[in-house]
Amino acid sequence: MRQATKAAPRRPRLLQALLNLRREEVGPVLIAALFFFLVLTALMLLRPARDALGMERGIENIRWLFIGTAVVTLAVNPLFGWLVGRFKRLQFIAATYGFFVLSLVGFWALLTFAPGAVGRGSGQVFYVWFSVFNLFVTMVFWALLADRFTSDQGKRFFALISVGGTLGAIFGPWLTSRLAQPLGTPNLLLLAGGFLLLALAAAWLLVRTAADRAGPGVAATAGGAATEAERIGGSAWAGLRAVFRSRYLAAIAGYILLMTVLATFIYFTRLQMVAAVAGSMDARAAILGSIDMWTQVAVLLLQLTLTGKIIQRFGLGVALAILPVATALGFIGLAIYGSFVVLILLEATTRALQRGITRPAREALFTVVSREEKYKAKAFVDTFMYRTGDVIGAQTEGALGRLGLAMGGLVGVLIPLALAWAALGLWLGRAQARRVTPSPAEMAPLPPDVRGELAEPSAIQHTTSRA
């Protein structure tokens, strides 16, 4: 009986040790993971239909849709900056998510009550709308996390929180495959809207559960902490100006630009091969959905096994450089073999690394900037710069294809870009480390019973000492 009594209280402490969490962090991390699960479920319910609709007028049309998406994201950014400056945090988050829910209801009404009005033009509008929607709802999620958690916490458990998103990205396509026929595509839009409303409730709970960051560490690195009752203020264009004034933010923008340029090369290569093997929209959607599902399984394995250890052991710089190196090696393999199987492996690997390792590391970069920059500059970087990379990649890939440049020739263009991308990632890792000033809460040691569980190469001690 005495041994059982001792073992019972040790279980939560052992769980905290295994997950690299302190007791007070468990609740906020679980809520954030649920939040991300709901967001990604909503997105992935709709993504296969977006890609299939976009291909209805051919692959060349998608290149122009990318330009339209970039223009729309640039136009929306000052509006989002105005919301951030004028409203409280939960208010502008609710306004952003509420707008997209109302848009989904509008698309549902069009498909239900006026199906004859739906044509190829409507499909293109949905493609652009979804591309903007995809970026903004995930950007708001990560901005809130960078606002609620410190640099040390971001390195320790952003990857763990990402597991919730990966489960949502697996659950969403599964729901689509099971419910598309019995419910019909229009009703899937309402289902996605319902998940977004639940995500908004999770955001409210996260703000109420995770205390506002305060103390010398935050004041020194993030321009001080504001309470929920305060507005951020500032200009609607402050985010754009901040990116061009700050070498650190400009480097993040450059990293994302290079990442999306190379990812777009892979994306269009995939679309061309899928179009060659599948003629109908339904067949293309099935193939694309299957690729998405298995990619997410690979992401989940990475997040559960390697991501946190890589960031804590080697730092953000190495974590950010892994994807560029893997992309370069993948393009070399594609140039040598050039088969559909190799392409699927390349895309699955790069997307798994991007979501499983690069994304948590990239989001940790924003934990050391001011609150205004977390929302406004991040919005500009994560939406417009992201879509600008899409445009550059799409137009460049199309131009090189029209010139008759084979994959072997493309590698000569892509490898230098990948090397520059990797170097930028290493520089960002060092720059982020220089900006970190730990707060007293971060420097506080773990309780002795938990610290004992981490006595070997302690991930928490390593991270804290580097911070």
Question: Above 70 in pLDDT, residue 49?
Answer: no
Asked whether residue 27 carries a pLDDT value surpassing 60, the answer given is yes
Task: Please write the tens of the pLDDT for every residue from 152-167.
Answer: 888 888 888 988 988 8
pLDDT at 69: 84
Question: pLDDT of 194-214, one tens digit each?
Answer: 999 999 999 999 988 876 654
Tell me what pLDDT residue 395 has.
Answer: 81
Model pLDDT, residue 458: 36
Burial of 241 (0-12, 13-18, 19+ CB in 10 A): middle
| Domain 23-212+237-436 sits in CATH 3.40.50.620 | no
Structure tokens at 151: 């640099």
The band of 31, judged by pLDDT with boundaries at 50, 70 and 90, is: very high
Instruction: Among 150-159, 222-231, 258-267, 444-453, name the one with the lowest average pLDDT.
Output: 444-453
Query: Rounded mean pLDDT of 119-125?
Result: 67
- What pLDDT is attached to residue 443? 43
| pLDDT digit string, tens, across residues 372-406 | 899 999 999 998 999 898 888 888 777 776 665 55
Residue 123 has pLDDT above 90, yes or no: no
| pLDDT tier at 14, thresholds 50, 70, 90 | low
Return all residues near 121 (Cβ < 8 A) that are at least 6 apart. none
- Position 54 scores a pLDDT of 56
Contacts for 254-257: CB closer than 8 Å, 24+ residues apart: 254/424, 255/320, 255/362, 255/421, 255/424, 255/425, 255/428, 256/362, 256/381, 256/382, 256/385, 256/386, 256/389, 257/385, 257/388, 257/389, 257/392
Angle, CA of 61, 380 and 133, to the nearest 5°: 50
**pLDDT above 90: residue 249:** yes
pLDDT band at residue 183 using 50, 70 and 90 as cut-offs: confident
Say what the pLDDT of residue 153 is: 87
Reported as a pLDDT band with limits 50, 70 and 90, residue 97 is very high
Q: Is the pLDDT of residue 454 over 80?
A: no
Instruction: Find, among 100, 107, 281, the residue nearest to 186 by Cα.
Output: 107
Helix (H, G, I), strand (E, B) or coil at 221: helix
**What single DSSP character describes residue 362?**
H
Q: Which pLDDT score, from 0 to 100, does residue 155 have? A: 84
The more confident residue out of 431 and 87 is 431
> What pLDDT is recorded for position 421?
94
Domain spans of the chain, in order of start: 23-212+237-436
Residue 196: the pLDDT is: 95
Contact 72, 225 (CB under 8 A): no
Q: Quick one: pLDDT at residue 143?
A: 92
Average pLDDT over residues 130-156: 89
Structure confidence at residue 355 (pLDDT): 81
Q: Which amino acid is at 171?
A: F
Q: Each residue of 294-344: pLDDT tens digit?
A: 776 777 777 777 666 787 788 899 999 999 999 888 888 877 776 667 777
Query: What angle is formed at CA 137 by the lines to CA 132 and CA 143, rounded to 5 degrees?
Result: 120
pLDDT score recorded for residue 456: 40
| Highest mean pLDDT out of 53-62, 114-123, 375-384, 405-414 | 375-384
Residue that is written with structure tokens 């009594």 in the block: 5
Per-residue pLDDT at 217 exceeds 60: no
